[in-house]
Amino acid sequence: MRIEKVQGIVINSTDYSESSKILNVFTKEYGIIGVISKGCRRVKSKLRSVSQKLVYGDFNIYYKENGLSTLISVDVLDNFTNILGDIIKVSYGTFLLELASQVYRENADEQIYNTLISALKKIDAGFDPLVITSIVELKYLDYLGIALSLDGCSICGNTEDIVTLSTKNGGYVCKNCYDNEKIVSDKAIKVIRLFKYVDIDKISKLDLKDKTVKEIEEFLDEYYDTYTGLFLKSKKFLKTLSS
């Protein structure tokens, strides 16, 4: 093993022996790796506070390829204080961690990590967690190979007279191709395309009606359920919490 510094975030952890944990850390350099945090469950351990979900920083580790690395210390980059102090934000953060890890296992693209960190920073800064989560879900469809067609009608390519979003057809549908799909509002049609192309880091203001946000959320939920095959426990809990 060799000592390395990697940037990452703790996705989850599992108790190991009486005093340790195994952390699943999503890293910028190596993707998702297992890291043992020895003795971190002891009250006086220096690793206790940095061996929790949502800890984001530079992890100093004894790196072992294809095996468990060992945690030395963490230089925390962001405490995500506002997220950790709000059960709703924690729930969204937990969902994003689980979603990112599952999407990465399908397509090991570094941008999945970058998008996750950008989203968590925006939620911590006070932006609507549902809106930010919907943006992430939309962007991750690209890495799952089921990106939505939002530059024109998904059937004929027409860029005019778009009337709705279609789960069955994977995107926009124009009035000429419309075939009894559920109609969504013109605002939702425009906003979802904005979500796809927006740079999360550059978002400075969000002013959207709840109805529009809800329409997009419902569409994405249906689309994920229909095509991804992903089962996320955190999503189920989030829905229960919201209701």
- How many whole angstroms separate alpha carbon 61 and alpha carbon 53? 17
Q: Where in the chain is the domain with CATH 2.40.50.140?
A: 2-79
Segment 8-21 shows an average pLDDT of 96
Predicted confidence at residue 243, as pLDDT, reads 65
Domain 2-79 belongs to what architecture?
A: Beta Barrel (2.40)
Res. 241: pLDDT tops 80: no
Q: What is the pLDDT of residues 36-88, one digit of tens each?
A: 999 999 999 999 999 999 999 999 999 999 899 999 999 999 999 999 999 99
Q: What is the pLDDT of residues 190-236, one digit of tens each?
A: 999 999 999 999 999 998 999 999 999 999 999 999 999 888 888 88
Segment 166-185 shows an average pLDDT of 94
In this structure, whether the domain defined by 87-242 belongs to CATH 1.20.1260.10 is answered with: no
Segment 109-131 shows an average pLDDT of 97
Q: Where in the chain is the domain with CATH 1.20.1440.120?
A: 87-242
Q: What predicted TM-score, i.e. pTM, was given to this entire model?
A: 0.94
Question: Average pLDDT over the chain, rounded to whole?
Answer: 95
